[in-house]
Amino acid sequence: MRQKRIMTIQDLSCFGKCSLTVAHPIMSAMGLEVCPIPTAILSTHTAGFTNWTFRDLSADLIPIAEHWQSQHLTFDGISTGYLGTREMIGMVEDYFRRFPEAVKIVDPVFADNGKLYPAFDEAYAAGVAELCGHADVIVPNLTEAAFMLGEAYIPAGYDEEYIHGLLRRLAALGCRTAVVTGVNYDGAHQGAVGYEADSGQFFQYFRENIDVSFHGTGDIFTSALAGAVVLGKPLQEALRIAVDYTVECIKITMPDKDEHWYGVKFESCLPGLIKSLE
């Protein structure tokens, strides 16, 4: 069987276990051929460190696409994460047009816990919402969902009716499937809920809630989900694979959580991820 091939477009934060430094190894372990496109190189991620270096590589994005097209390369999937500028969002839309055969998975990556990340504003959120309209699968957290829909962020105390309505409104942006992460109805469980617009069906998968926050877990979840989707797993199975992997990564990091605040020890959980694909 031909190996599935995915390109992943996001930054390379050299230290910090997020974006490309997790997406590439996770999807490789899942058996995919991974083609990374670094949008920028940073010495660290921007959440919790100071004075990081940043080299914008966006000028190379379109020449890379042109070269790949000249070589007749095709892709089963494109996954995107942290991009950084409105201009880069436009370039990713260009990629989507150039590689129409690929399943497109967009993780908005611009906000969490009710707040935009420092580099972003509402215009950027609107740009990502437009990009989501061209995606097959989108993976916002509750904060990003609220920003993209121009709604108030509801941190807790919501019910299934709210989440299902939110997913329908997200799908109305134009994507086929919307998945919202970090859903916690009862304080005791946390998970992801998905909606497929074509069938009108909802899917969900929950595990025990672990009351801790590590950087990069959203990127880890989306990497596992994107890998599973491109491997052809149905959405319910993809949610299980991605939630279970994320939970295991968090659990294994808990004993070192102070020293390891910048990201989870995803590496030692890769064998379990591979097993969960069987």
Residues binding ligand PXL (CB under 6 A): 11, 13, 18-19, 42, 45-47, 82, 109, 117, 216, 219
The first and second tokens of residue 271, run together, are 């064998």
Cβ proximity to ligand PXL, 8 vs 46, nearer residue: 46
Residue 17, CB-side half-sphere exposure with 13 Å CA sphere:
19
Cβ proximity to ligand PXL, 54 vs 232, nearer residue: 54
The first and second tokens of residue 120, run together, are 């972003």
CB of 176 to ligand PXL, least distance (A): 24
Cβ proximity to ligand PXL, 76 vs 144, nearer residue: 144
Question: In the sheet that 201-208 helps form, which strands lie side by side, from edge to edge?
Answer: 54-56, 33-44, 5-15, 77-80, 103-106, 137-138, 177-183, 189-196, 201-208
What whole-number distance in Å separates Cα of residue 26 and Cα of residue 223?
7
Cβ proximity to ligand PXL, 82 vs 185, nearer residue: 82
CB of 2 to ligand PXL, least distance (A): 31
CB of 38 to ligand PXL, least distance (A): 11
Cβ proximity to ligand PXL, 117 vs 158, nearer residue: 117
Q: Which of 113, 83, 81 is nearest to 213 (CA)?
A: 113
What whole-number distance in Å separates Cα of residue 263 and Cα of residue 249?
10
* Ordered alpha helix ranges (H), the chain: 20-29, 61-70, 86-98, 122-132, 142-149, 160-171, 217-230, 235-253, 270-276
Please, what sign has the CA dihedral across residues 119, 123, 129, 131?
negative
What whole-number distance in Å separates Cα of residue 152 and Cα of residue 20?
31
CB of 52 to ligand PXL, least distance (A): 8
Cβ proximity to ligand PXL, 54 vs 165, nearer residue: 54
CB of 24 to ligand PXL, least distance (A): 13
CB of 117 to ligand PXL, least distance (A): 5
